[in-house]
Structure 1
Amino acid sequence: MAKYQVSKSIDVRGEVCPIPDVETKRALKDMKPGEILEVWIDYPLSKERIPETVKKLGHEVLEIEEVGKSEWKIYIKVK
C-alpha cells in the first residue's frame, strides 16, 4: 500500500538544475490544496533545492525518500 494518496507524479530523473525546480513549480501551480505531488529525482542538488523552493511557495515537504543509489522521491503536500 502506498504511503501517500499521490494526486500527481512527475519524473525529472536525468535532468539537472534548473529543470527539476521549474517542473516541480509548474506541477504545483495546477494542483489544489490538500493534493500530493510526487517528484522523482536523481540529481543530488535537487534534493536540497526543491524542498527550499517548495517551502518558500508555502507548501509542505512530507518526505524525501531514497529509492535507489542516487535516486529519491519527494512528496509535497499542496497548501
Structure 2
Amino acid sequence: MPDDPTGGYSAKPRETKLLMTHNIEDVTRFMEGAEMLGTGLQVRRVAIPKGKSDPYVFEEWWEVRVFDDPHLGREYKPE
C-alpha cells in the first residue's frame, strides 16, 4: 500500500483515523488506545486485489477505523 500523504486521517469529520495493515500488533495497539481514550473503534478483515496484472489474487488486510465518538464504531440497533 503506498504511503498516504494525509497520514491516514479521513476527510469524514467524525472519523479521525484509518489504518490498513497486515500486522495484528498495529490492530492491538489501536484497540488498547481506543479503550483508554473512550473512542469508537471498528475493525474489519478485508481482501484487496494485489494488482492489475493478476486481479484474482488477493491480499488480506486489517482495516481499523477510529472515531471521536465511541458510538460511531457500532451498528445502530433501535430499541
**What's the TM-score once normalised by structure 1's chain length?**
0.48
Q: Give the number of the structure whose residues are more often helix, by fraction.
A: 1
- Radius of gyration: which is bigger? 2
**What's the TM-score once normalised by structure 2's chain length?**
0.48
